[in-house]
Amino acid sequence: MLAAPGSPLDPRARGCNDLIRQGAALCEGAEDVLRAIEAIGGFRAPPPPTYMRRRGKLARTAGAGFDLTFPTPVHVDELARLVGAPAGAVFAALVELSLAGRVELSPGAMAARA
């Protein structure tokens, strides 16, 4: 555990200073953080998100996005929640579907079936 020291006169620093008293390593900069990360095994790439494991992110999102668009406009965030993918990926898929003439995008990040 790392803690950044603070002024003993500042009540906001009480927690960090207490952690240092209890044995937390002193953190004075990025080098301290890198040393701590290396001590626990270094950097590892995170596993890919679930939506990327199935036939590619854009293909899955584009298909699901079209299946979930409604005749009335729906907000992109709501579609992202239903699909289970990031809003940015869903919006990118909806732009491609819009260019193909299958989805109509409206102001305010709203999408509807074309």
The three state secondary structure string of 62-106 is HHHHHHHCCCCCEEHHHHHHHHCCCHHHHHHHHHHHHHCCCEEEE
Residues 35, 54 share a domain: no
pLDDT tens digits for 2-12?
Answer: 998 889 888 88
Residues 106, 59 share a domain: yes
Domain assignment present for 106? yes
Range of the domain at 13: 2-39
Q: Which amino acid type is present at position 89?
A: A
Residues 76, 32 share a domain: no
- CA 35 and chain centroid, separation: 26
Q: Which two tokens stand for residue 50?
A: 């679930």
Residues 82, 108 share a domain: yes
Average pLDDT over residues 61-81: 70
Residues 98, 76 share a domain: yes
Q: Which two tokens stand for residue 95?
A: 């732009």
Residues 34, 71 share a domain: no
DSSP 3: E
pTM, full prediction: 0.44
